[in-house]
Each structure stands twice: as structure tokens, then as C-alpha cells.
Amino acid sequence: MPSPARIHRPTPRNLARLAGVLQRGGLVALPTETVYGLAADALDAAACGKIFRAKGRPATDPLIVHVLTLAQADEVGELNPAARKLAAAFWPGPLTLVLPKREIVPAMVTAGLGSVAVRMPKHPLFRKMLRLAGRPLAAPSANPFGYISPTTAAHVKAGLGRRIGHILDGGPCRIGVESTVLDLRVPEHPVLLRPGAVSRAALAAALGRPVRLAPAGTTGEAERTTGLPGPGMLARHYSPRTPLTLTEKIAAGRAAAAPEEAFLFFRRPKTRAAAEAKNVFWLTATGSLEEAARNLFDRLRHLDGGAWHAIRAERVPGRGALAPALNDRLARAAARKG
């Protein structure tokens, strides 16, 4: 059996060593401001193939290419004026743009499509690794495909600890849900493929035009045979192994009647009896969407590790950027297998 992955502290010596692993075609799990990513040289097809094998990821699901500079972004994708406008407003940050790809990007990275997903991350450790490695890095979430995304180094080790060798510990992720993904292949008609911390309204304001929502997640044969334009678009994703049901609102007293189930509230229940029940959990004590986003995947992992027969979660209220992102992740986590 392979040795378990080693978690590295972010010392200068370790960063240099891990950059060397990437330069030699290896894999390293890295922290970003959204979730931890499993990184490889984005221009090395063999290295990127290791990502798919480690995660058990289907070839129809493209990878995000992370870049350090705008010039590097233009080397992998065709930056149209709309993309440059959004880059000026939101990069570095949690925004991924789907653009026409350059020939330098291997077909494996893009699911065989003529487009590439590009992001300039903000996390200082990821940016240091981009600088030290000297090349763009492909990095989907560092977890087995379809499972709950990792927001700590310990999460990565729990899921991929026997499949990869190196994890860089950057502490808990600041945002906690994956990046917003915007399709700009036709810049006159931008399409939001996945909600995230950069809101649809903010994108529309920066572009000066409406941003259309993509249809709900694809299912069935299309998922298995057709390349998706962006990551995180499958109908079932981010899913615990324990069956999860998403409801509009959970009655505070319902948990007492179903002690074999876990209940995940958006906000801490107001009644003491409900809040102290052993099967009651929440995403935020104060109603903060930012706190809820940071806690979402950790809470789902905790509940999945318990002895519950089922998990019942309630939808997240509000209209801030993170409410649609949280509800998107919960809905995909609750989707049934096709």
C-alpha cells in the first residue's frame, strides 16, 4: 500500500521542494481562497492525467487552469475585452472565466473542447507556488470525484491520503466554496455556469450587460459522454455518502422526532432544546453568509462521518452572492444518483 501523503508546513524550503515536484510532473495539493486544489503542470498532459486518476474524475469534466499573471492567462486562453474587464475587477480572486483555448493547452485539460477555464487565485501560498513552479497549474478540488470538497489539509489527507504524496498546509480556506465560473466564449452573451463568491449582479455590473444563468445540472448520458463547458456542473456533486435531503425550512422541533437523522440548519436554532439536541447542527451562529460558506463542507463531512441514517438540510436564505452558491452546493449534494 502506498505511503500516506505528507502534510508540509509552508516554509521556504518546503515550497521550493514542492515546486520541484510540480516541475517534474508530480501532484501537490495546494490551498486556495476557495477550497484546496490538486495541482499539476497544466501544460503537461501526463501530469494532468495523474489528477484524473487520483480523483477518479471522468475525462468529460474539464480542469481549471490557474495562472499568476494576465500575460500567462492570455497564453492559455484568448482574453477578449470582456475578459480583460472582469480580470481588472476581480482578479486575483474567486472567479473562473471560460475562454477559447490556445493550442498550448492539452486536450485532456479541457475535456477535448475548444475552451479552457482560467482563474488567477488570490491565496498567497498558491501564488508563491505558481511563481516558483514557473508554469500554470491545473487544480480541481483535492478530493475523490463527486465527494465533499476539502477546505483544510486534513480533509485532503482523509480523501486522497493514499493516492497522492504531498499536501501544502495553508490553514482553513477563507471563502470555503468553489469559484464562480462564467462562460465568456461568446462575450456578448455571458453565461453563469456556477455561482460563487463573485455574484451574478457584480459580473453584470462590471460588464455592463445581463448575465444569463446556465440550465440546471446535466444528467444521464450527457454527463458520461459529452465534455462540459466548465467544472462543477454535474447534477450530483459535492455529495456526502449519507443520503441528504434539502428542504425550504426545517421546523425546530422536528429533530426530536427523528433522532436517527442529522439536521443541518442555516442558523443556530433559537430554542435551547433544539440547539442542544445531539442531532442538530448549523452553518452559522449569527446568520453570516460568509461564516456559513466557510463551514459548509466541514459540517457535511462531520455529519457524513457520524452514524446518521440521513441528513436533512435547509436552504440558505438571502440574496447575497454566497446564498446562491451555498444553495447550489446543497442542491447538488442532495441530488440522487442517475
Q: By C-alpha distance, which of 127, 156, 100, 143 is closest to 32?
A: 127
Burial of 260 (0-12, 13-18, 19+ CB in 10 A): exposed
Q: Hey, what's the torsion of the CAs at 246, 250, 254, 259, to 10 degrees?
A: 40
User: Taking a C-beta distance cutoff of 8 angstroms, is the pair 266, 292 a contact?
Assistant: yes
Distances (CA, A) of 51 to 19, 91, 99, 289: 16, 25, 22, 31
Nearest CA among 63, 31, 53, 69 for reference residue 139: 63
Q: Tell me: pLDDT of 221 over 90.
A: no
Q: What is the mean pLDDT of the chain?
A: 93
Query: Cα separation of 177 and 36, whole Å?
Result: 10
Does residue 92 come out as left (phi exceeding 0), alpha (psi in the -120 to 50 range) or beta? beta
- What pLDDT does 321 receive? 82
CB atoms within 10 A of CB 16: 11
Helix (H, G, I), strand (E, B) or coil at 314: strand
pLDDT at 332 over 50: yes
Report the distance separating Cα 207 and Cα 271, nearest Å: 45
For residue 66, give the C-alpha cell.
Answer: 490557474
Which residue from 149, 198, 158, 66 is spatially nearest to 329, judged by alpha carbons?
149
What does pTM read for this prediction? 0.94
User: What was the pLDDT predicted at 260?
Assistant: 94
- 228 has pLDDT over 80: no
User: 141 forms bridges with which residues in the sheet?
Assistant: 37
Residue 29's Cβ-count burial label (10 Å; 0-12, 13-18, 19+) is: buried
Average pLDDT rounded to a whole number, residues 310-338: 90
pLDDT value at 35 more than 70: yes
pLDDT at 294: 98
Domain ranges of the chain: 6-225, 244-334
pLDDT given for residue 229 in this prediction: 67
Fold of 6-225: DHBP synthase (3.90.870)
pLDDT in tens, 73-93: 999 999 999 999 999 999 999
> What angle, rounded to 10 degrees, do the helices at 81-90 and 200-207 form?
120
Question: Which residues have a Cβ under 8 Å from the Cβ of 82 and sit 6 or more positions away?
Answer: 184, 187, 190, 207
Instruction: Out of 35-44, 45-54, 92-101, 214-223, pick the least confident.
Output: 214-223
Please tell me whether residue 264 adopts helix, strand or coil conformation: strand
Q: Is pLDDT at 181 greater than 70 in this prediction? A: yes
pLDDT at residue 2 tops 90: no
Does pLDDT of 306 surpass 50? yes
The helix (run of H) or strand (run of E) holding residue 7 is strand 6-8
Q: What is the CA radius of gyration of the chain?
A: 20
Which of 259, 232, 255, 260 is CA-nearest to residue 331? Answer: 232
Cα 38 to Cα 1, 143, 266: the distances in Å are 21, 8, 29
Strand order across the beta sheet in which 280-284 lies: 244-247, 310-314, 261-267, 280-284
Binned at pLDDT 50, 70 and 90, residue 128 comes out as very high
pLDDT digits (tens, 9 = 90+) for 182-212: 999 999 999 999 999 999 999 999 999 999 9
